[in-house]
Amino acid sequence: MDKALAGGQVLIASNRGPVSFSRGDDGHLSSRRGGGGMVSGLSTVADDPSVLWVCAALSDADRAAARQAPGGMLSPEQAGAGVAVKMLDIPPSVFHRAYNGIANSTLWFVHHLLYDTPNKPSFGASFWREWQAFTSYNETFATALAEAIEPWNGGPPPRAAIQDYHLCLAPQMLAARAPGTRIAHFSHTPWAPPDYYRMLPAHVGREVLAGILGADHAGFLSDRWADAFVDCCAAFLDAEVDPSRRKVTYDGHVTSIGVHPLGVDAKQLIERASERDVVTRMEALTAATAGRKLIVRIDRTELSKNIVRGLEAYRELLRMHPEWLGNVVHVAFAYPSRHDLPEYREYTAAVQRLASQIEDEFAAPGWDPLILAVDDDYARSLAAYRLADVLLVNPIRDGMNLVAKEGPILSDGGCALVLSTEAGAAAELGEHALLINPYDVTETAQALNRALAMSGAERARRSEALALAATAEPPSKWFSDQLTALDNPSTP
């Protein structure tokens, strides 16, 4: 990684940054590491003071910290992070429309195939106000990146690594503002196939594709998502696709297409899972479950995570296989997500309703069949990983899914992985997991039964193989490979 960083100035841009602020009762601002899988994936480069990370201020405390720093620029010491951070104080109304209206209610829904199409989407006047805000939001990032670029005076050009669907327009905007900058864009989500992508207004669909093609390198988590992006470029733009499907030429500019699976830094994860707060939660969880077999899931209450069908499968398991009554506990930690959106509030309520129904049907003296928590507790999640006999990961659609990779690394006794074919991680882990159709509740219940009945030796063997696959592309290599791609540009 050090060698890759040495090739010229490196800037990272993402909606959520490596640090977030909170204000104490005394009014003092304190910082902690930002949340989310993307931040975790980039954490290994967030210890280099030569890197500048541009992000949005997400809370009132973030905005206060940004306003106290000249131009929102926080040194590594001020940010409490290993990198300098430029925090953008975007007007709340603009941010809300861009983030909730477009990024999370439109682009996320399209790429995860989530729309209830008889009712949504409906692109009217309010959508176009939101799209204008989304364009402004991307312009703010592109301008901030351009202003932060240092003269390179004949040396290696600066490199900007722009992250995810929130900033899909920014690569083209930055290329126009800072010619010569080497730009990468990485999509942490799936990419919709053309037949679903065409649901977007034609103008918007083309702008998103052209925005990413402003980058010199576009990265994806799996071949499947990269191929879908290339298919959309061929279908909706006057673009030339290389027969190898690893280059797209548009408007005279060549964008290389890369597949960079994101793995786990096992050493860092194991060290964190050995700390006292995790051990304390393990003791509490062991006492609560009385040594029974554990089916564990760790997720946000996100529509694509498919928590409700997972609970339905657990209920069907208990109905079809009464031998597990009193002998298994389903530990479901489903943390709040996007509660600004009504669909997410209702989904969380649906999860809680079904959990209550399972309790009412099966609970017996001395046995609680389900432990559901919808509050965020990272140490508790690590404790559950360590105790898991079975890990359930059944998303409708997922760019990668780090839970599927973290669980086998941490499981003390080895865990069996029940994994959706629609998770990007299935391409790497499928050989050693029990693959399921995420819509098939009965198949999922059968896979859970098979996983629970698996011998300890087979479970340990599978878990070891899963852990090896999960660490094959650690975050440092994932990021370094993208910088290397920028150092070897394509030519028309």
pLDDT of residue 2: 55
Q: What's the pLDDT score for residue 77? A: 80
Q: CATH top-level class for 266-470?
A: alpha beta
- Report DSSP state, residue 172: H
Give kind and range of the element (H or E) at residue 180: none
Phi, psi of 255 (to 5 degrees): -115, 120
pLDDT on residue 492: 42
Write phi, then psi, for 217 (nearest 5 degrees): -145, 130
In the chain, residues under CATH classification 3.40.50.2000 are 2-262+475-487, 266-470
- Cβ atoms of 169 and 148 closer than 8 Å: no
Instruction: Find residue 250's DSSP bridge partners.
Output: 253
Return d(Cα 142, Cα 335) in angstroms, integer. Answer: 32
Instruction: Give the chain's residues under pLDDT 50.
Output: 491-492
CB burial string 251-274: b at 16+ within 10 A, e below: eebbbbbbbbbbbbbbeebeeebe
Residue range 2-262+475-487, CATH number: 3.40.50.2000
Question: Residue 473 — left, alpha, or beta (φ > 0 → left; ψ -120 to 50 → alpha)?
Answer: beta
H-helix or E-strand spanning residue 257: strand 253-259
The predicted pLDDT at position 364 comes to 96
CA distance 300 to 345: 12
